[in-house]
Amino acid sequence: MFLFNTTKQSDQEIEELSYLERLVSVEKRNRRTFCIKVESSNKIVLLSPKRASKKDIQFVLKRHKKWLDIQIEKKKKMETELQQGQFVSGRHVFLFGSTYQLQIMSGGSDAIFILGKKIVVEVDCRKVIDGKNVSDISNEEDSDILIQEHIQIRLTEWYKEMAKEFLAERTIELATRFRFKVNTIRIKSMKTRWGSCSSKNNINLCYRLIMAPKDVIDYVIIHELCHLKEMNHSHKFWRLVESICPTYVDDKNWLKVNGFKLIL
């Protein structure tokens, strides 16, 4: 049961809540609790119990307004970075929790490799442009967009390949050490989760997890492995996680604070 604050709201508070309501997409389901997902700076998904009223929804938004404001700002920052075409030399990216600088070089090999604290991306610009329909390229700006898209695709593939090798091997290693039975391990592009599992003992991990520190990676893997025994977030589940990963609180908080940075 919700208890509502009957104090008269200021015009500013009413306006701010109205703004949040315009961003919210309410999905009513057979559930007892509310769940808020900030998918972008202009889209909030609110999973709601079927019987929840508009007043209930407004209360939830008001109660979580500060958190929502922070999440929306994070999404705005992320979206701004993605829109500015930053696949250029000097842009910072993450790998295993360390910061690397991109170095874009002209070359025929189309290779990507690590050199010190730099991730070097070789691009055959002429080949990229020649591979497109001439009618699609009307000016230098179009050429730059094509090259940016090519770098993003190649870099994403490079991260995914590394993630498939490292995350799968690490999951098998931890599962063997702590006697969990895993069926299939999949490395996927997941927008809102770092990992998931199923009742069939399948583990799914987001490839972007490869950008986090290895201790944080271990926490996420252990979190999902523990769900194979406890398919919930009960006290028993968290005790099991802590018994294997005593630093899980710090690792979980690291993701909350820094997770939005782990993007391409």
pLDDT at 83: 53
Cβ-contact 72, 65 below 8 angstroms? no
Q: What angle do CA 134, 152, 131 make, to 5 degrees?
A: 25
Kindly state whether residue 3 falls inside one of the protein's structural domains.
no
Single pTM value for the model: 0.67
Quick one: 79 and 151 in the same domain? no
Mean pLDDT of the 43-67 span: 88
Cβ-contact 213, 254 below 8 angstroms? yes
pLDDT at 147: 78
Spatial distance between the Cα atoms of 243 and 226, rounded to a whole number of angstroms: 10
pLDDT at 81: 60
Kindly state whether residue 2 falls inside one of the protein's structural domains.
no
Residue 204 exposed, middle or buried by CB count within 10 Å (0-12, 13-18, 19+): middle
pLDDT, tens digit, 9 for 90 and up, residues 152-182: 888 999 999 999 999 999 999 999 999 999 9
Kindly state whether residue 228 falls inside one of the protein's structural domains.
yes
Domain hosting 143: range is 92-158
Q: What percent of the chain has pLDDT over 70?
A: 81
